[in-house]
A = this chain, B = another copy of it.
């Protein structure tokens, strides 16, 4: 079972990196990463009892659905990028933490957004109810903090508490954005830095600290996590729009109602304020059958997709610069490959 999930995760990771240059750079890591991912899945499987109480069941259901495991992979890679390239076993605990906290936020998000499907399966809240999903998220958080304590690496508990504060702040902002189509770029970055980048930063910090990195190295590597996290969110936004332009009307409407608007749409609405106020009315319940087409047209007119791609490329460049202090190694190459893949996928 752990093997199956680990293989799945590697495949999903490989799919994101479907370009020859990237694959070549990930290849030298494939064997060691596969072993690490199997250990990761075993660990995640032991965190909650799949046949335990309702909170455990809700948490286990989501964990068993798999995922790309990108946060643990970053944590593992950065730890391996320090000589001699063989981090202590505690790194597996910290890699688990990054994934557990991510899953905890998903369990809570699905309750807030009333989500019914995730990773092609019914959500935990759809099966076990809202309260169980909230408790399942709480449980994963508590288990994650317990693992950080158990790992015994200094400073990682307070830095995780900072991450959680930023996440709560971002969620609060998102609640305040509900029904608003005039969300600006500053709001957008506040939310995506708080919800996504903060945990990417922590994954890098944890991997670096557990192999005894210097403070200045930790700072720089967190910067890598920050840039990759923001780019990751921007790429998600871009692919949403490119892959399913037909559903843009419904999606954008739901986004506004839920307090999130994707970056390209923010740019387009900023250029055409009349469209933003039509969208606000529609979010409040006023039918507007031509809205979807008009938004899509506005997105293209505004050049928002190109701007979004440019921003992802900029973030990747900054991320790569943050890797400079590291000595050359297969792990460093793999970290670079993850960052580069985001830009290449965005093209």
Contact = CB atoms under 8 A, between A and B. Distances in A.
A53 B149 contact: no
Nearest to A172: B53
Contacts of A56: 172
Contacts of A172: 53-56, 132, 135
Interface residues of A, number: 30
A322 interface: no
B149 A158 contact: yes
B53 A176 contact: yes
A54 to B, nearest CB: 4
Number of copies of this protein chain within its complex: 2
A129 B164 CA distance: 20
A131 interface: yes
Given A168-B135, A168-B139, A161 B175 contact: no
A59 B146 CA distance: 25
A149 B164 CA distance: 15
Interface centre among A53, A134, A135, A172 (most CB of B within 10 A): A172
B112 A176 contact: no
A138 interface: yes
Interface in A20-59: 53-56
13 contacts: A54-B172, A54-B175, A55-B169, A55-B171, A112-B131, A112-B134, A134-B134, A135-B168, A135-B172, A142-B161, A142-B164, A146-B158, A149-B161
Given A55-B172, A142-B168, 15 more contacts: A53-B172, A54-B176, A55-B169, A108-B138, A111-B134, A112-B131, A131-B171, A132-B172, A134-B134, A142-B161, A145-B145, A146-B158, A146-B161, A149-B158, A157-B157
- Going nearest first, the 10 A-B pairs with the smallest beta carbon separation are A53-B172, A54-B172, A55-B172, A142-B164, A112-B131, A146-B161, A139-B168, A55-B168, A54-B175, A135-B168
